[in-house]
Amino acid sequence: MSTAGERLKAARKWRGLGQEALARESGVSVSVIRQLEQGARETARTETWRKLAFVLQVPTMRLSDGLDEQGPHEDTVEEWTAVSEALHAPPGRLTAEEGEPPTVAGVRAVVDEALPYFSGQFGKLARVLPGILRDAADLGEEGQALRIRVLQLAGWSLTATRQWDLAEDALERSLDLATDRIQAAETVDCLTWLYLRRGELDRSRDVAIRWADDLEPVKMRKATPDELCAWGRMLLRVSASAIRDNRGGEASSAMKWAGVAAKALGEEHKPSPYVSLKTFGPTTVALKVIENAAVTDHPDQVLRMAKRVPRGAVMPTASNMNRHQLDVVDAQAKTGDYSGAVQRLLKVKKKYPEWLGNQRYASDVVTRIAENRRLITPELREVATVVRVNL
């Protein structure tokens, strides 16, 4: 089996490009290209592979092996140890030890109290999730739906903090227990996000395509808002995976159909938190169109479209809005507005410091800003500390 570096070299030669020419056209340094081709470096970021694949006119995954994204920070692993233990604890232990079996109403009340933490308060989630997971595992048959939802929420949190293996374990267990299509689709939506973050673009794309096809309403007018949300979000996963895999046409097509689902809704829809914490509608689709422009390195388009994002009574999730802010920050940095980029990052840091600290995207942008500024300002240093960039 060939290595990623060997595939890169073969594709480059097939296109008749030297290393310097590929570096010039892709924006990837010639030293990185040489290291990859010579085997001195085994892998690279998904974004690096995408830039190279775009110039070489091949899918990203034809070059990349995937699984190239960073895992969790060391302190994150320690902080979430109790969550890992709770996920792997045998059912019934709480009842046997304390003689107080949990109830559906009781567990649901605790989940209700914890819902605000899913905006990115990961430290609090690490403290409350172990008890919720243990109690949910000990519920009887009447608590099956709640047990599934708790595993979904745990999987989302673990994915957000880059604990890939634990997240996959929680989500696959949730999927095994699912009894209806919308319930299963919520789990799959998070699984495809996990694959995407982990660099498994082909896996994310294949699963999302299969589920988007299954979730498509037979008659749009008769589809419920939750059904339209599930279908639309899965189409967004298809688009996100395809655009990163250098499949622009496929990404645009999936985004077009996501727009159809959003138009059928008419406005941003927020399901019950026991169905999903994610919204879907015209605003979310607009944010994802901008994200695709950012991925394909069109900063002027990002800045222009960001001024026209539709606003409604229901706002997209904090995670989606924050990701959008990073896309704008990236565009500002690429167009030389370093001060504006840092100020925007400071606003995100003020409200969502833990979320920002888990974004490698933010680390990359801060690194690039620091490399292009003569003076490291106190504001830039403040942001760099949160995203763990040494200046």
Cα–Cα distance measured from residue 87 to residue 150, given in angstroms and rounded to the nearest whole number: 11
Banded pLDDT at 237 (limits 50, 70, 90):
very high
Q: 3-state DSSP call for residue 269?
A: strand
> Cα–Cα distance between 147 and 136 in angstroms, integer?
5
| Gyration radius from the chain CA atoms | 22
Estimate to the nearest angstrom the gap between the alpha carbon of 32 and the chain centroid.
26
Q: Indicate the range of 18-22, 88-92, 153-157, 254-258 predicted with least confidence.
A: 88-92
- 98 band by pLDDT with thresholds 50, 70 and 90: low
The mean per-residue pLDDT over the stretch 187-211 comes to 95
Which residue would you say has higher pLDDT here, 40 or 236?
Answer: 236
- At 53, list the tokens: 């694949």
Position 10 confidence tier, pLDDT thresholds 50, 70, 90: confident
Own/partner contacts of 175-179, CB < 8 Å, gap of 24 or more, are 177/144, 177/147, 177/148, 177/151, 178/148, 179/144, 179/145, 179/148
CA 225 to chain centre: 23
Q: What is the mean pLDDT of residues 198-202?
A: 91
The alpha carbon of residue 55 and the mean position of all alpha carbons in its chain are separated, in whole angstroms, by: 25
Mapped onto helix, strand or coil, the DSSP state of residue 134 is helix
**What are the structure tokens assigned to 217, written together?**
């309403």
What tokens were used for 207? 């699963």
Of the listed ranges 178-187, 198-207, 248-257, 307-316, the one predicted with least confidence: 307-316
For residue 253, the model assigns a pLDDT of: 98
Of 200, 176, 202, which Cα lies nearest the Cα of 188?
176
Q: Give the mean pLDDT of 217-233.
A: 95
Q: What is the mean pLDDT of the chain?
A: 92
Q: Can you tell me the distance from the alpha carbon of 284 to that of 286, in angstroms, rounded to the nearest whole number? A: 5
CA atoms within 13 A on the CB side of 140: 4
> Can you name the residues that pair with 269 across neighbouring β-strands?
280
Output the CA–CA distances (angstroms, integers) from residue 80 to 70, 194, 196, in the order listed.
Answer: 17, 18, 22
Tell me what pLDDT residue 270 has: 95
For 211, list phi and psi in degrees, rounded to 5. Answer: -75, -35
pLDDT, tens digit, 9 for 90 and up, residues 357-387: 999 999 999 999 999 888 899 999 999 999 9
Residue 232 pLDDT exceeds 90: yes
At residue 50, the pLDDT reads: 86
Range from 50-59, 144-153, 238-247, 318-327 carrying the lowest mean pLDDT: 50-59
End-to-end Cα spacing for the chain:
40
Rounded CA-CA distance 268/288 in Å is: 14
Least confident of 279-283, 314-318, 362-366, 382-386: 314-318
pLDDT tens digits, one per residue of 257-276: 999 999 999 999 999 999 99
Q: Of 295, 162, 167, nearest to 240 (Cα)?
A: 295
User: Is residue 35 scored above 60 in pLDDT?
Assistant: yes
66-80, 127-141, 342-356: least confident range: 66-80
pLDDT for residue 96:
47
- Which residue's structure tokens are 């990837």? 28
pLDDT tier for residue 93 given thresholds of 50, 70 and 90: low
**Alpha helices (H) in 216-337, listed in sequence order:** 225-244, 248-265, 282-295, 299-306, 318-334
